[in-house]
């Protein structure tokens, strides 16, 4: 039971929603491995599988550009509603701003 309790309290590092509602927990490399991202804790983020799948091997800059395209054109991406995409955009522009200035 304790595991369940712990599991339900996990908030996605990108969209800030409970991972249990969005495919479950996953660990993403902030900087993708193929771009030199380290296999170290400082390069990890706990996030939902849906965010992880969307970000995939993109840099933060490329993901931000993709998100802004969907927001600007009012097109939903899979089941990402506009407010959720807005939260991811906010997360990237605050927590990961250095990756936007220096994408790699």
User: Can you give the binding site for Zn ion, defined by CB under 5 A?
Assistant: 12, 14-15, 48, 51
C-alpha 10 chain-centroid distance:
14
Please, which residue, 47 or 59, has the CB nearer to Zn ion? 47
| Nearest-angstrom CA–CA distance, 94 and 97 | 6
| 62 alpha-carbon distance from chain centroid | 12
What whole-number distance in Å separates Cα of residue 34 and Cα of residue 16?
Answer: 26
Cβ proximity to Zn ion: between 32 and 51 the closer is: 51
Nearer to Zn ion, 51 or 60 (CB): 51
From the CB of 54, what's the least distance to Zn ion, in Å? 8
The minimum distance between CB 103 and Zn ion, in angstroms, equals 21
Name which of 24 and 102 has its Cβ closer to Zn ion.
24
The CB-of-79 to Zn ion minimum distance in angstroms stands at 11
* H or E element that contains 66: helix 60-72
Q: Is 23 helix (H, G, I), strand (E, B) or coil?
A: coil
Q: How far is the CB of 90 from Zn ion (least distance, A)?
A: 13
């Amino acid at each position: 039971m304790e595991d369940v309790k712990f599991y339900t309290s996990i908030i996605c590092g990108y969209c800030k929603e409970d991972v249990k509602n969005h495919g479950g927990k996953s660990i993403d490399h902030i900087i993708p491995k193929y771009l030199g991202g380290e296999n170290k804790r400082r390069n990890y983020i706990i996030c939902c599988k849906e965010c992880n799948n969307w970000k995939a091997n993109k840099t933060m800059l490329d993901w931000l550009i993709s998100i802004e395209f969907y927001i600007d054109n009012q097109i939903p991406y899979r089941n990402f509603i506009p407010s959720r995409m807005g939260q991811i955009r906010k997360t990237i522009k605050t927590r990961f701003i250095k990756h936007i200035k220096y994408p790699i």
